[in-house]
Amino acid sequence: MTSFVPHTDAEIDEMLARLGLSSLDELFTVVPEALRLMRPLDLAPGMGEPDVAAEMGRLASANATGAGLVCFAGGGAYDHEVPAAVRRVAFRSEFVTAYTPYQPEVAQGVLQALFEYQTLVSRLAGLPIANASLYDGATALVEAGNLAAAATKRTALWVSAGVNPRWREVLRTFAVGTGHSVVDLPLVDGRTSFDLDEGEPPAAVVVASPNHLGCLEETAEARRVATETGALLVVCVDPVAAGLLRTAGSQGADVVVGEGQPLGTPLSFGGPYLGLFACGLEQVRRVPGRLVGETVDVDGRRAYVTTLRTREQDIRREKATSNVCTNQTLIAVACALQLSWLGTTGLRELALRCARGTRFAREALLAIDGVEPLAGAPTLREFAVRLPLDPAVVVERMAEDGFLAGIPLEPEYGRDGLLVAVTERRTRAEIEAYADAMEKVVR
Protein backbone atom coordinates (compact mmCIF):
# COMPACT_ATOMS: atom_id res chain seq x y z
CA MET A 1 0.00 0.00 0.00
CA THR A 2 1.39 3.42 -0.96
CA SER A 3 1.13 6.38 1.39
CA PHE A 4 -1.60 8.91 0.68
CA VAL A 5 -0.53 12.54 0.37
CA PRO A 6 -3.35 14.99 -0.42
CA HIS A 7 -1.14 17.28 -2.55
CA THR A 8 0.45 16.61 -5.91
CA ASP A 9 4.12 17.29 -6.55
CA ALA A 10 3.10 20.22 -8.76
CA GLU A 11 1.02 21.74 -5.97
CA ILE A 12 3.88 21.39 -3.49
CA ASP A 13 6.32 23.00 -5.94
CA GLU A 14 3.91 25.88 -6.49
CA MET A 15 3.55 26.41 -2.74
CA LEU A 16 7.33 26.40 -2.18
CA ALA A 17 7.89 28.81 -5.09
CA ARG A 18 5.36 31.26 -3.68
CA LEU A 19 7.09 31.08 -0.29
CA GLY A 20 10.51 31.49 -1.86
CA LEU A 21 11.72 28.12 -0.57
CA SER A 22 13.62 25.35 -2.31
CA SER A 23 12.42 22.28 -0.40
CA LEU A 24 10.04 20.97 2.26
CA ASP A 25 13.01 20.53 4.59
CA GLU A 26 13.61 24.26 4.34
CA LEU A 27 9.95 24.87 5.17
CA PHE A 28 10.32 23.04 8.46
CA THR A 29 13.62 24.56 9.60
CA VAL A 30 11.64 26.59 12.17
CA VAL A 31 10.93 23.31 14.00
CA PRO A 32 13.90 22.45 16.26
CA GLU A 33 15.68 19.32 15.10
CA ALA A 34 15.25 17.75 18.55
CA LEU A 35 11.49 17.80 18.03
CA ARG A 36 11.53 16.14 14.61
CA LEU A 37 11.02 12.44 14.04
CA MET A 38 14.15 11.54 12.11
CA ARG A 39 12.82 8.19 10.87
CA PRO A 40 9.74 6.82 9.09
CA LEU A 41 6.63 6.21 11.15
CA ASP A 42 6.55 2.74 12.71
CA LEU A 43 3.38 1.59 10.96
CA ALA A 44 2.23 -1.95 10.26
CA PRO A 45 2.26 -3.09 6.63
CA GLY A 46 -0.80 -2.16 4.61
CA MET A 47 -3.71 -4.62 4.33
CA GLY A 48 -6.19 -5.35 1.59
CA GLU A 49 -9.87 -4.56 2.12
CA PRO A 50 -10.93 -8.19 2.82
CA ASP A 51 -8.16 -8.51 5.42
CA VAL A 52 -9.23 -5.24 7.07
CA ALA A 53 -12.85 -6.43 7.18
CA ALA A 54 -11.78 -9.72 8.78
CA GLU A 55 -9.69 -7.92 11.38
CA MET A 56 -12.54 -5.52 12.23
CA GLY A 57 -14.82 -8.52 12.65
CA ARG A 58 -12.34 -10.13 15.02
CA LEU A 59 -12.08 -6.97 17.10
CA ALA A 60 -15.86 -6.58 17.23
CA SER A 61 -16.23 -10.16 18.44
CA ALA A 62 -13.57 -9.65 21.13
CA ASN A 63 -15.23 -6.43 22.27
CA ALA A 64 -18.66 -8.00 22.51
CA THR A 65 -17.45 -10.93 24.59
CA GLY A 66 -14.74 -9.26 26.68
CA ALA A 67 -12.12 -11.39 24.89
CA GLY A 68 -13.91 -14.49 26.16
CA LEU A 69 -13.71 -13.52 29.85
CA VAL A 70 -16.66 -13.30 32.22
CA CYS A 71 -16.47 -9.67 33.31
CA PHE A 72 -16.47 -8.64 36.98
CA ALA A 73 -14.60 -5.38 36.32
CA GLY A 74 -16.18 -1.95 36.68
CA GLY A 75 -14.65 1.25 37.95
CA GLY A 76 -16.60 3.44 35.52
CA ALA A 77 -17.10 1.07 32.56
CA TYR A 78 -19.56 -1.83 32.95
CA ASP A 79 -20.59 -4.93 31.03
CA HIS A 80 -24.31 -4.23 30.66
CA GLU A 81 -26.71 -5.63 28.12
CA VAL A 82 -27.53 -3.36 25.16
CA PRO A 83 -30.95 -4.44 23.83
CA ALA A 84 -31.20 -5.23 20.12
CA ALA A 85 -33.89 -2.56 19.71
CA VAL A 86 -31.52 0.11 21.06
CA ARG A 87 -28.72 -0.95 18.71
CA ARG A 88 -31.07 -1.12 15.72
CA VAL A 89 -32.51 2.37 16.16
CA ALA A 90 -29.27 4.08 17.29
CA PHE A 91 -27.42 2.85 14.23
CA ARG A 92 -29.91 4.21 11.73
CA SER A 93 -28.06 6.34 9.20
CA GLU A 94 -29.96 9.46 10.29
CA PHE A 95 -28.21 9.31 13.66
CA VAL A 96 -24.87 7.79 12.69
CA THR A 97 -24.13 10.40 10.02
CA ALA A 98 -25.64 13.43 11.80
CA TYR A 99 -23.39 16.40 12.46
CA THR A 100 -23.80 19.31 14.89
CA PRO A 101 -27.36 20.60 14.23
CA TYR A 102 -26.49 24.21 13.38
CA GLN A 103 -29.37 24.34 10.88
CA PRO A 104 -32.52 23.34 12.79
CA GLU A 105 -34.68 23.35 9.67
CA VAL A 106 -32.86 20.21 8.46
CA ALA A 107 -32.05 18.61 11.84
CA GLN A 108 -35.36 18.35 13.69
CA GLY A 109 -35.01 14.58 14.22
CA VAL A 110 -31.61 14.77 15.93
CA LEU A 111 -32.61 17.87 17.89
CA GLN A 112 -35.76 16.18 19.20
CA ALA A 113 -33.77 13.07 20.15
CA LEU A 114 -31.32 15.25 22.09
CA PHE A 115 -34.15 17.16 23.74
CA GLU A 116 -35.60 13.84 24.92
CA TYR A 117 -32.14 12.82 26.15
CA GLN A 118 -31.86 16.04 28.17
CA THR A 119 -35.30 15.44 29.67
CA LEU A 120 -34.38 11.92 30.77
CA VAL A 121 -31.03 13.00 32.28
CA SER A 122 -32.80 15.82 34.08
CA ARG A 123 -35.18 13.32 35.65
CA LEU A 124 -32.31 11.02 36.66
CA ALA A 125 -30.44 13.91 38.26
CA GLY A 126 -33.42 15.63 39.87
CA LEU A 127 -32.36 18.99 38.40
CA PRO A 128 -34.13 21.11 35.77
CA ILE A 129 -31.32 21.64 33.23
CA ALA A 130 -29.28 18.98 31.40
CA ASN A 131 -27.01 19.46 28.41
CA ALA A 132 -26.59 17.33 25.30
CA SER A 133 -23.85 16.11 26.16
CA LEU A 134 -20.12 15.74 27.02
CA TYR A 135 -17.29 13.38 26.13
CA ASP A 136 -17.27 11.25 29.30
CA GLY A 137 -17.67 11.42 33.07
CA ALA A 138 -14.18 12.86 33.57
CA THR A 139 -14.70 15.83 31.26
CA ALA A 140 -18.15 16.38 32.78
CA LEU A 141 -16.42 16.74 36.16
CA VAL A 142 -13.95 19.25 34.68
CA GLU A 143 -16.83 21.32 33.32
CA ALA A 144 -18.59 21.18 36.70
CA GLY A 145 -15.45 22.56 38.33
CA ASN A 146 -15.26 25.33 35.73
CA LEU A 147 -18.92 26.20 36.29
CA ALA A 148 -18.49 26.31 40.08
CA ALA A 149 -15.38 28.49 39.82
CA ALA A 150 -17.19 30.93 37.51
CA ALA A 151 -20.26 31.04 39.75
CA THR A 152 -18.37 31.62 43.02
CA LYS A 153 -15.33 33.55 41.72
CA ARG A 154 -13.11 31.05 43.58
CA THR A 155 -10.43 28.64 42.44
CA ALA A 156 -10.22 25.81 45.02
CA LEU A 157 -12.03 22.52 44.39
CA TRP A 158 -12.51 20.12 47.31
CA VAL A 159 -12.72 16.65 45.78
CA SER A 160 -13.43 13.42 47.63
CA ALA A 161 -10.98 10.54 47.25
CA GLY A 162 -14.11 8.53 46.53
CA VAL A 163 -14.34 10.14 43.10
CA ASN A 164 -12.94 7.93 40.33
CA PRO A 165 -9.12 8.39 40.33
CA ARG A 166 -9.05 8.70 36.53
CA TRP A 167 -11.56 11.55 36.72
CA ARG A 168 -9.47 13.30 39.34
CA GLU A 169 -6.37 12.96 37.16
CA VAL A 170 -8.18 14.63 34.27
CA LEU A 171 -9.43 17.36 36.62
CA ARG A 172 -5.88 18.06 37.84
CA THR A 173 -4.59 18.16 34.25
CA PHE A 174 -7.12 20.79 33.24
CA ALA A 175 -6.60 22.67 36.51
CA VAL A 176 -3.03 23.44 35.45
CA GLY A 177 -4.38 25.52 32.60
CA THR A 178 -7.37 27.06 34.37
CA GLY A 179 -5.47 27.96 37.55
CA HIS A 180 -7.72 25.91 39.82
CA SER A 181 -6.36 24.04 42.84
CA VAL A 182 -7.60 20.56 43.71
CA VAL A 183 -7.75 19.63 47.41
CA ASP A 184 -8.28 15.93 48.23
CA LEU A 185 -10.80 14.93 50.87
CA PRO A 186 -9.79 11.56 52.38
CA LEU A 187 -11.99 8.50 52.86
CA VAL A 188 -12.61 7.00 56.28
CA ASP A 189 -14.05 3.46 56.15
CA GLY A 190 -15.27 4.09 52.62
CA ARG A 191 -16.86 7.50 53.12
CA THR A 192 -15.61 11.06 52.69
CA SER A 193 -14.18 12.88 55.69
CA PHE A 194 -14.67 16.65 55.67
CA ASP A 195 -12.35 17.27 58.61
CA LEU A 196 -10.10 19.79 56.86
CA ASP A 197 -7.97 22.55 58.29
CA GLU A 198 -9.07 26.05 57.39
CA GLY A 199 -7.79 27.13 53.99
CA GLU A 200 -8.97 28.79 50.83
CA PRO A 201 -12.79 28.54 50.64
CA PRO A 202 -13.84 26.15 47.88
CA ALA A 203 -15.74 26.85 44.71
CA ALA A 204 -17.11 23.30 44.80
CA VAL A 205 -17.35 20.34 47.13
CA VAL A 206 -17.27 17.18 44.99
CA VAL A 207 -18.41 13.75 46.15
CA ALA A 208 -19.49 10.55 44.41
CA SER A 209 -22.35 8.30 45.48
CA PRO A 210 -21.90 5.42 44.99
CA ASN A 211 -18.21 6.25 45.15
CA HIS A 212 -15.21 4.51 43.55
CA LEU A 213 -15.25 1.80 46.23
CA GLY A 214 -18.96 1.23 45.61
CA CYS A 215 -19.94 2.82 48.94
CA LEU A 216 -22.97 5.06 49.39
CA GLU A 217 -21.98 8.52 50.62
CA GLU A 218 -23.70 10.76 53.15
CA THR A 219 -24.78 13.42 50.66
CA ALA A 220 -26.48 15.43 53.41
CA GLU A 221 -23.12 15.94 55.13
CA ALA A 222 -21.57 17.12 51.87
CA ARG A 223 -24.50 19.52 51.42
CA ARG A 224 -23.90 20.93 54.91
CA VAL A 225 -20.21 21.54 54.21
CA ALA A 226 -20.98 23.17 50.87
CA THR A 227 -23.51 25.49 52.48
CA GLU A 228 -21.18 26.46 55.32
CA THR A 229 -18.34 27.25 52.94
CA GLY A 230 -20.49 28.97 50.30
CA ALA A 231 -19.56 26.37 47.67
CA LEU A 232 -21.58 24.51 45.07
CA LEU A 233 -22.18 20.82 45.71
CA VAL A 234 -21.18 18.60 42.78
CA VAL A 235 -22.29 14.97 42.99
CA CYS A 236 -20.94 12.26 40.68
CA VAL A 237 -23.65 9.64 40.16
CA ASP A 238 -24.07 6.19 38.67
CA PRO A 239 -27.09 6.33 36.31
CA VAL A 240 -27.95 2.68 36.95
CA ALA A 241 -27.86 3.08 40.74
CA ALA A 242 -30.21 6.03 40.27
CA GLY A 243 -32.90 3.44 39.62
CA LEU A 244 -32.96 2.69 43.37
CA LEU A 245 -31.62 5.86 45.01
CA ARG A 246 -33.13 9.27 45.58
CA THR A 247 -31.98 11.75 42.97
CA ALA A 248 -28.89 13.76 43.83
CA GLY A 249 -30.80 16.94 43.08
CA SER A 250 -33.41 16.11 45.72
CA GLN A 251 -30.54 15.69 48.20
CA GLY A 252 -29.17 19.16 47.58
CA ALA A 253 -26.76 18.79 44.64
CA ASP A 254 -26.20 21.96 42.63
CA VAL A 255 -24.53 20.07 39.77
CA VAL A 256 -24.79 16.38 38.90
CA VAL A 257 -22.31 14.63 36.61
CA GLY A 258 -21.86 11.03 35.63
CA GLU A 259 -20.72 8.47 33.08
CA GLY A 260 -23.49 7.42 30.71
CA GLN A 261 -21.72 4.34 29.28
CA PRO A 262 -23.85 1.87 31.28
CA LEU A 263 -26.91 3.03 29.33
CA GLY A 264 -26.74 1.86 25.74
CA THR A 265 -22.98 1.73 25.08
CA PRO A 266 -20.84 -1.46 25.12
CA LEU A 267 -17.40 -1.51 26.73
CA SER A 268 -15.89 -0.64 23.34
CA PHE A 269 -12.25 -0.91 24.49
CA GLY A 270 -12.73 2.19 26.66
CA GLY A 271 -14.69 4.59 24.48
CA PRO A 272 -16.27 6.61 23.08
CA TYR A 273 -18.39 7.15 26.17
CA LEU A 274 -20.82 9.80 27.39
CA GLY A 275 -20.63 12.57 29.98
CA LEU A 276 -23.85 13.34 31.87
CA PHE A 277 -24.29 16.91 33.13
CA ALA A 278 -27.21 18.57 34.93
CA CYS A 279 -27.61 21.67 37.09
CA GLY A 280 -30.07 24.18 38.50
CA LEU A 281 -31.78 26.86 36.43
CA GLU A 282 -29.66 29.62 38.00
CA GLN A 283 -26.58 28.16 36.26
CA VAL A 284 -28.17 27.76 32.82
CA ARG A 285 -25.92 30.35 31.14
CA ARG A 286 -22.83 28.56 32.40
CA VAL A 287 -23.82 25.12 31.11
CA PRO A 288 -21.11 23.72 28.79
CA GLY A 289 -21.65 22.14 25.42
CA ARG A 290 -24.93 21.85 23.54
CA LEU A 291 -28.32 22.79 24.99
CA VAL A 292 -31.44 21.98 22.96
CA GLY A 293 -34.65 23.88 23.56
CA GLU A 294 -38.26 23.43 22.49
CA THR A 295 -40.09 26.28 20.76
CA VAL A 296 -42.62 26.88 17.94
CA ASP A 297 -41.95 27.91 14.36
CA VAL A 298 -43.63 30.74 12.41
CA ASP A 299 -46.61 28.46 11.74
CA GLY A 300 -47.05 27.60 15.42
CA ARG A 301 -45.67 24.05 15.07
CA ARG A 302 -43.48 22.48 17.73
CA ALA A 303 -39.79 22.86 16.87
CA TYR A 304 -36.38 22.25 18.43
CA VAL A 305 -33.27 24.45 18.33
CA THR A 306 -29.90 24.78 20.01
CA THR A 307 -30.34 27.60 22.50
CA LEU A 308 -28.20 30.09 24.46
CA ARG A 309 -25.38 29.41 22.01
CA THR A 310 -23.60 32.65 22.85
CA ARG A 311 -21.83 30.79 25.64
CA GLU A 312 -20.16 28.46 23.13
CA GLN A 313 -16.67 28.56 21.70
CA ASP A 314 -17.83 28.83 18.09
CA ILE A 315 -19.70 32.06 18.93
CA ARG A 316 -17.78 33.78 21.73
CA ARG A 317 -14.29 32.53 20.99
CA GLU A 318 -11.97 33.08 23.98
CA LYS A 319 -14.86 34.46 26.09
CA ALA A 320 -16.81 31.21 25.85
CA THR A 321 -18.05 29.54 29.02
CA SER A 322 -16.56 26.26 27.85
CA ASN A 323 -14.12 25.02 25.22
CA VAL A 324 -16.38 22.07 24.46
CA CYS A 325 -17.55 22.67 20.88
CA THR A 326 -18.91 19.20 20.10
CA ASN A 327 -20.21 16.23 22.09
CA GLN A 328 -21.09 12.56 21.91
CA THR A 329 -24.44 12.95 20.16
CA LEU A 330 -24.73 9.38 18.87
CA ILE A 331 -23.92 7.98 22.33
CA ALA A 332 -26.46 10.37 23.87
CA VAL A 333 -29.11 9.12 21.46
CA ALA A 334 -28.30 5.52 22.43
CA CYS A 335 -28.59 6.49 26.10
CA ALA A 336 -32.00 8.06 25.50
CA LEU A 337 -33.14 4.97 23.62
CA GLN A 338 -31.96 2.68 26.44
CA LEU A 339 -33.73 4.74 29.10
CA SER A 340 -36.90 4.90 26.99
CA TRP A 341 -36.77 1.15 26.43
CA LEU A 342 -36.34 0.45 30.14
CA GLY A 343 -38.76 3.03 31.51
CA THR A 344 -38.98 3.78 35.21
CA THR A 345 -39.89 0.20 36.14
CA GLY A 346 -37.20 -1.31 33.92
CA LEU A 347 -34.45 0.93 35.30
CA ARG A 348 -35.45 -0.01 38.83
CA GLU A 349 -35.41 -3.70 37.92
CA LEU A 350 -31.99 -3.32 36.29
CA ALA A 351 -30.56 -1.63 39.38
CA LEU A 352 -32.17 -4.23 41.65
CA ARG A 353 -30.68 -7.14 39.69
CA CYS A 354 -27.25 -5.52 39.94
CA ALA A 355 -27.67 -4.89 43.68
CA ARG A 356 -28.77 -8.47 44.36
CA GLY A 357 -25.92 -9.91 42.31
CA THR A 358 -23.45 -7.64 44.08
CA ARG A 359 -24.65 -8.75 47.50
CA PHE A 360 -24.48 -12.42 46.52
CA ALA A 361 -20.96 -12.04 45.08
CA ARG A 362 -19.73 -10.03 48.07
CA GLU A 363 -20.96 -12.63 50.55
CA ALA A 364 -19.41 -15.42 48.47
CA LEU A 365 -15.99 -13.73 48.37
CA LEU A 366 -16.00 -12.77 52.04
CA ALA A 367 -16.63 -16.41 52.92
CA ILE A 368 -13.12 -17.20 51.56
CA ASP A 369 -10.35 -17.29 54.17
CA GLY A 370 -8.10 -14.25 53.80
CA VAL A 371 -10.58 -12.11 51.86
CA GLU A 372 -11.84 -9.13 53.86
CA PRO A 373 -14.01 -6.08 53.16
CA LEU A 374 -11.98 -2.99 52.33
CA ALA A 375 -14.63 -0.65 53.77
CA GLY A 376 -17.59 -1.04 56.09
CA ALA A 377 -19.93 1.47 54.44
CA PRO A 378 -22.98 0.10 52.58
CA THR A 379 -22.53 -0.75 48.91
CA LEU A 380 -25.02 -1.08 46.08
CA ARG A 381 -23.63 -2.58 42.85
CA GLU A 382 -19.86 -2.56 43.25
CA PHE A 383 -17.61 -3.40 46.18
CA ALA A 384 -13.95 -3.57 47.22
CA VAL A 385 -12.20 -6.39 49.07
CA ARG A 386 -8.74 -6.92 50.55
CA LEU A 387 -6.89 -9.94 49.22
CA PRO A 388 -4.05 -11.96 50.78
CA LEU A 389 -2.18 -11.81 47.43
CA ASP A 390 -1.17 -9.00 45.11
CA PRO A 391 -4.46 -8.10 43.32
CA ALA A 392 -2.66 -7.78 39.97
CA VAL A 393 -1.43 -11.37 40.34
CA VAL A 394 -4.94 -12.52 41.26
CA VAL A 395 -6.40 -10.83 38.16
CA GLU A 396 -3.78 -12.49 35.96
CA ARG A 397 -4.39 -15.95 37.41
CA MET A 398 -8.18 -15.57 37.32
CA ALA A 399 -7.96 -14.78 33.60
CA GLU A 400 -6.58 -18.28 33.09
CA ASP A 401 -9.88 -19.60 34.50
CA GLY A 402 -11.92 -17.36 32.19
CA PHE A 403 -12.70 -14.43 34.50
CA LEU A 404 -11.91 -10.74 34.36
CA ALA A 405 -11.72 -10.65 38.14
CA GLY A 406 -11.92 -6.91 38.78
CA ILE A 407 -9.68 -3.86 38.99
CA PRO A 408 -6.66 -3.68 41.31
CA LEU A 409 -7.14 -0.53 43.35
CA GLU A 410 -4.71 2.38 43.41
CA PRO A 411 -2.22 2.52 46.32
CA GLU A 412 -4.17 5.39 47.93
CA TYR A 413 -6.82 2.80 48.86
CA GLY A 414 -4.28 0.22 50.02
CA ARG A 415 -2.03 -2.08 48.01
CA ASP A 416 -4.17 -5.19 48.53
CA GLY A 417 -7.53 -3.95 47.25
CA LEU A 418 -9.62 -5.34 44.38
CA LEU A 419 -12.72 -3.60 43.01
CA VAL A 420 -15.45 -5.99 41.87
CA ALA A 421 -18.57 -5.10 39.87
CA VAL A 422 -21.64 -7.21 39.13
CA THR A 423 -24.12 -6.32 36.40
CA GLU A 424 -27.44 -7.85 35.40
CA ARG A 425 -25.57 -10.03 32.87
CA ARG A 426 -23.90 -12.09 35.60
CA THR A 427 -25.79 -15.27 36.46
CA ARG A 428 -25.81 -17.11 39.77
CA ALA A 429 -23.75 -19.91 38.19
CA GLU A 430 -21.13 -17.42 36.94
CA ILE A 431 -20.84 -15.77 40.37
CA GLU A 432 -20.47 -19.13 42.12
CA ALA A 433 -17.82 -20.23 39.60
CA TYR A 434 -16.05 -16.89 40.08
CA ALA A 435 -15.95 -17.36 43.85
CA ASP A 436 -14.67 -20.93 43.47
CA ALA A 437 -11.89 -19.76 41.14
CA MET A 438 -11.00 -16.94 43.53
CA GLU A 439 -10.73 -19.39 46.42
CA LYS A 440 -8.32 -21.58 44.45
CA VAL A 441 -6.15 -18.59 43.53
CA VAL A 442 -5.84 -17.05 47.00
CA ARG A 443 -5.65 -20.32 48.94
Angle (CA) 183-186-189 rounded to 5° is: 165
Instruction: Give the chain's domains with CATH numbers.
Output: 67-83+343-442 (3.90.1150.10), 84-337 (3.40.640.10)
> Quick count: other Cβ atoms within 10 Å of Cβ 246?
10
How far is Cα 391 from Cα 395, in angstroms, rounded to an integer? 6
How far is Cα 432 from Cα 379, in angstroms, rounded to an integer? 20
- Residue-wise DSSP of 231-259: PEEEEEE-TTGGGTSPPTGGGT-SEEEEE
The answer to whether 113 and 246 are in contact (CB under 8 A) is no
- Tell me whether strands 156-160 and 292-296 are parallel, antiparallel or unpaired: unpaired
Q: Which pLDDT tens digits describe the chain residue by residue (443 residues)?
A: 345 567 888 999 999 999 999 998 899 899 998 888 888 888 888 888 888 888 887 777 665 545 579 999 999 999 999 999 999 999 998 888 877 787 888 899 999 999 999 999 999 999 999 998 899 999 999 999 999 999 999 999 999 999 999 999 999 999 999 999 999 999 999 999 998 776 789 999 999 999 999 999 989 999 999 999 999 999 999 999 999 999 999 999 999 999 999 999 999 888 899 999 999 999 999 999 889 999 999 999 999 999 887 777 677 777 777 777 666 789 999 999 999 999 999 999 999 999 999 999 999 999 999 999 999 999 999 999 999 999 999 999 999 999 999 999 999 998 899 999 999 999 999 999 999 999 999 98
Reported residue count of the chain is 443
Residue-wise pLDDT for 37-66, tens only, equals 888 888 888 888 888 888 887 777 665 545
Q: What is the dihedral of CA 89, 93, 99, 100, to 10 degrees?
A: -30
